[in-house]
Chains A and B, each alone.
Chain A
Amino acid sequence: MRVILLSCYPLVDKLDYKCKVLTGLVSRKPEALSLVYVNTRFIDYYREFRKRYRLKDLFYYSSKGKGNILSYRSQGVETLAEKLGVDVLMAKSFNKKCIDYLSEFGPDIIHNLSGLYIPKAVLRIPRYGVIGGHYGALPKIRGSDTIRWTILLNHLMVVSHMFLASKLDMGDILLKMKVDVNKGDDIKTIRGKCQEKNAVGHLVVYDRISCGILKPVKQGRSEGSTFFRMGDFLRNEVDALLVNCQYSHYVDSDGG
């Protein structure tokens, strides 16, 4: 198998689960493996920061003693890739250079760990498709802030993997895995658990494709809804639900 691992913002790319996907793939000894970074310019970092965090969010999180929002490790994914002998490409965006490199590489699959929107030109390149993880039960819950929406709606916490499509979260579903939520977990902890499952899911999908036993399931538009960024009022409500253990799907629950 020829495999591309897609990520972004290399300077801050230190998430544990991405390292797990990388080491997992290396241990499976694919025919070729390459790590491709996009959004590597300073302006991309700035834009992402502006999109993700508002000034008041920083105060919000620091005042609640939640520290940083994502869990980092000291060793970056890029450094790990170099140690493991994996080629790394730095691209400013999905520009011609990037697309030419990907086409020339001729991947069977691309694992998308960037969380970015993948343009059609890239989606068409791999033999099987671009695989992405989604922290919500597809097809019901699409879009963003899906961990919070799942808790608010009192649904089972699930990580889904799919072949990415041009329409957001509308690709064929490849795998769904339940995430264990324990009493006392906050959003950060649950997100960490989802990331763990995401890493496992990417490797399971890889294995299934290698063995030829992958069974993609199509999803229709009307089978689910697209959720958007959750506002402060509902965020506080979700935090309160977790603090008061009012989520119904705890693994250690006696009925919740």
Chain B
Amino acid sequence: MNLLSQKAISLLENMDDERGKLFSFSTKVSNGKYINDFNNPRKIRYTINVLLGLKKASRCEEYSVAWDVEELIIKFIAERREEIDNYADLGLLLLLCADVDRSEAALLLRRISNLVESSKLLKSNLQDCSWLLWGVVEAVRQGYKSAEKIARKLFKIAHGYFLDRDTLIPRYSLIWFRKNMSSFGGIAYFLRSMYEYANYFNDQYVLTLFKESVRRIIDFQGPLGEWPWFIEVDNAKVLDWYPVYSVHQDSMAMLFLLPGLSSGIRECINSVKRSYSWLLGNNQIGVPLIREKPFFIHRSIRYRKQWEKLDRYSRALFNHVTRKQSHFAKIDKLEINAECRSYHLGWILFVWADEQRFSEFTNSSVFR
């Protein structure tokens, strides 16, 4: 297993809650020690993410961590089943357990089927739809008979309602005020689910859409390889660059870039390299977002403001209304967000644990 994945696992060993086998919502380093925060319900979603990554890592040959991942998954589902009702989480959970716990997967499929039959999904968002589709396609792959029909229906919704075919950018939400603004995370998940669908059903139309959309999104990549946070759908332009997230740079972009590369898109090679180089210090402030001792990956580069979240939404809205292009901020207005979310490490493991390509990154000296 590569050094990056080993480091991610060792960091995760410091981010779990021994009592419930949950992984932290947020972790910081203080005086050389990890300080975990479990006070946010998002820890459930993050734990699913982490387990997904650990499952992938545990199937690599040289995996050597004390956890019995399949047992962790079964225990987690048994203990937390009632708390999981978010649509996206249901999809991700299905992706997690489709080949581990067949009875649980069958129950999940029934819940998802009811959801798809109702019109509730149209009130959901791109992430919900994408994770559901991804999970259901995995269920089809694992041989659940009812899953194929659900997958086709979910694809119909994703393709018919969320994807803007004129710009090839999916809409994050169908609610009028958010319809024209899409976030990078949603786009990454959407592209991955499209790829999984196209790949399993051998659908050339979907595969073509995937490949063309990947090329489209690569065009948005900034001069230092950064992925914009907010994109306008109708005019296909960046609404706001900040925060630039490490998780987008080192793993979520790879959810579509690596399959894109496998599908023959040569532009993905350079895009992957520029994407991870940002994390290693080739970014606006010229500082690596990886801390070596103790090992840690900082969350993002963001505006130095008190109401950062409110400020970025206002900025994006302003650029949308005034039709202005988003610009990069001056360096003195930026700061590093020095926290780490456990799901980030989950995606790192999911993407890189069994990946042989780009070993100059995954076995980089910063991970020694």
Q: Which of B157-209 contact A (CB under 8 A)?
A: 159, 164-168, 201-206, 208
Check if B168 sits within 8 Å of A143, measured CB to CB: no
Given A233-B216, A234-B212, A225–B205 Cβ distance below 8 Å?
A: yes
Q: Does A31 contact B (CB under 8 A)?
A: no
Q: Does A118 contact B (CB under 8 A)?
A: no
User: In whole angstroms, how far apart are the Cα atoms of A222 and B148 in the complex?
Assistant: 13
Which residues from A are CB-within-8-Å of B236? 233
Check if B204 sits within 8 Å of A229, measured CB to CB: no
Which residues from B are CB-within-8-Å of A230? 165
Contact of B208 among A152, A222, A232, A233 (CB under 8 A): A152
Check if A227 sits within 8 Å of B166, measured CB to CB: no
Check if B166 sits within 8 Å of A233, measured CB to CB: yes
Check if B166 sits within 8 Å of A143, measured CB to CB: no
Q: Does A140 contact B (CB under 8 A)?
A: yes
- B213-253 vs A, CB cutoff 8 Å, 1 = contact: the mask equals 00010000000000000000000100000000000000000
Q: Does A231 contact B (CB under 8 A)?
A: yes
CB distance from B354 to the nearest CB of A (A): 28
Check if A149 sits within 8 Å of B208, measured CB to CB: yes
User: In whole angstroms, how far apart are the Cα atoms of A231 and B203 in the complex?
Assistant: 18
CB distance from A166 to the nearest CB of B (A): 17
Which residues from A are CB-within-8-Å of B216? 233
Contact of A232 among B166, B202, B204, B206 (CB under 8 A): B166
Check if A225 sits within 8 Å of B168, measured CB to CB: no
User: In whole angstroms, how far apart are the Cα atoms of A234 and B236 in the complex?
Assistant: 13
Given A222-B202, A225-B203, A231–B164 Cβ distance below 8 Å?
A: yes
Check if A225 sits within 8 Å of B204, measured CB to CB: yes
CB distance from A56 to the nearest CB of B (A): 9
CB distance from B255 to the nearest CB of A (A): 22
CB distance from B145 to the nearest CB of A (A): 16
Contact of A153 among B165, B201, B206, B208 (CB under 8 A): B208
CB distance from A222 to the nearest CB of B (A): 7
Which residues from A are CB-within-8-Å of B208? 149, 152-153
Check if B165 sits within 8 Å of A227, measured CB to CB: no
User: In whole angstroms, how far apart are the Cα atoms of A54 and B321 in the complex?
Assistant: 24
Check if A228 sits within 8 Å of B167, measured CB to CB: no
User: In whole angstroms, how far apart are the Cα atoms of A143 and B203 in the complex?
Assistant: 13
Q: Does A62 contact B (CB under 8 A)?
A: no
User: In whole angstroms, how far apart are the Cα atoms of A228 and B203 in the complex?
Assistant: 12
CB distance from A185 to the nearest CB of B (A): 22
Check if B205 sits within 8 Å of A231, measured CB to CB: no
CB distance from B237 to the nearest CB of A (A): 13
Check if B204 sits within 8 Å of A233, measured CB to CB: no
- A220-256 vs B, CB cutoff 8 Å, 1 = contact: the mask equals 0010111111111110010000000000000000000
Check if B166 sits within 8 Å of A226, measured CB to CB: no
CB distance from B208 to the nearest CB of A (A): 6
Which residues from B are CB-within-8-Å of A231? 164-168
Contact of A233 among B168, B201, B202 (CB under 8 A): B168
CB distance from B186 to the nearest CB of A (A): 19
CB-based nearest A residue for B159: A228
Given A233-B216, A234-B212, A226–B165 Cβ distance below 8 Å?
A: no
Which residues from A are CB-within-8-Å of B206? 225
- A183-226 vs B, CB cutoff 8 Å, 1 = contact: the mask equals 00000000000000000000000000000000000000010111
User: In whole angstroms, how far apart are the Cα atoms of A177 and B167 in the complex?
Assistant: 33
Contact of B168 among A141, A222, A234 (CB under 8 A): A234
CB-based nearest B residue for A226: B205
User: In whole angstroms, how far apart are the Cα atoms of A140 and B236 in the complex?
Assistant: 31
Among B166, B167, B202: residue with most chain A CB under 10 A: B166
Check if A233 sits within 8 Å of B203, measured CB to CB: no
Which residues from B are CB-within-8-Å of A234? 165, 168, 212
User: In whole angstroms, how far apart are the Cα atoms of A232 and B168 in the complex?
Assistant: 9
User: In whole angstroms, how far apart are the Cα atoms of A226 and B160 in the complex?
Assistant: 14
User: In whole angstroms, how far apart are the Cα atoms of A232 and B236 in the complex?
Assistant: 12
Which residues from A are CB-within-8-Å of B204? 140-141, 153, 224-225
Given A233-B216, A234-B212, A228–B205 Cβ distance below 8 Å?
A: yes
Which residues from B are CB-within-8-Å of A225? 202-206
Q: Which of A129-155 contact B (CB under 8 A)?
A: 140-141, 143, 149, 152-153
User: In whole angstroms, how far apart are the Cα atoms of A153 and B208 in the complex?
Assistant: 8
User: In whole angstroms, how far apart are the Cα atoms of A229 and B201 in the complex?
Assistant: 20
Which residues from A are CB-within-8-Å of B212? 233-234, 237
CB distance from B231 to the nearest CB of A (A): 14
CB-based nearest A residue for B203: A225
Which residues from B are CB-within-8-Å of A232? 166-167
Which residues from B are CB-within-8-Å of A227? 205
Which residues from B are CB-within-8-Å of A149? 205, 208
CB-based nearest A residue for B165: A231
User: In whole angstroms, how far apart are the Cα atoms of A140 and B204 in the complex?
Assistant: 8
CB-based nearest B residue for A153: B208
Which residues from B are CB-within-8-Å of A237? 212
Contact of B205 among A143, A222, A233 (CB under 8 A): A143
In the assembled complex, 14 residue pairs joining A and B whose CB atoms fall closer than 8 Å, in A order, are A141-B204, A143-B205, A222-B202, A225-B202, A225-B203, A225-B206, A231-B165, A231-B166, A231-B167, A231-B168, A232-B166, A232-B167, A234-B168, A234-B212
Apart from A222-B202, A231-B166, A234-B212, 20 more pairs, CB < 8 Å:
A140-B204, A141-B204, A143-B205, A149-B205, A153-B208, A222-B201, A224-B204, A225-B202, A225-B203, A225-B204, A226-B205, A228-B159, A228-B165, A228-B205, A230-B165, A231-B167, A232-B167, A233-B167, A233-B236, A234-B165
Closest 3 A/B residue pairs (Cβ): A231-B165, A231-B166, A232-B166
